[in-house]
Structure 1
């Protein structure tokens, strides 16, 4: 899967909503990086 970075969001909130309204149908990879440099990845499928 190849691609590009679509969005960067910086927040201090523990919960953040990502607006996917402008994304076209497809599969996306979400990478979350904390201020302590921990990372988590999630797959997002927009139908």
Structure 2
């Protein structure tokens, strides 16, 4: 039962860190253009 005093705060800190990283990625525009990198490999760049 004593391990719960360690595991609960660790899991809360871990969950909050995931939320912070997700919002940081949203703010930095990581999810703005999801289609262009997938199509970039199909473009013919042979000049």
When you count helix as a share of all residues, which structure comes out higher?
A: 2
With a CA cutoff of 8 Å and minimum separation of 6, indicate the structure with the bigger relative contact order: 1
Does the pair score TM above 0.5?
A: no
Using structure 1 for the length normalisation, give the TM-score.
0.18
Q: Which structure has the highest strand share of the two?
A: 1
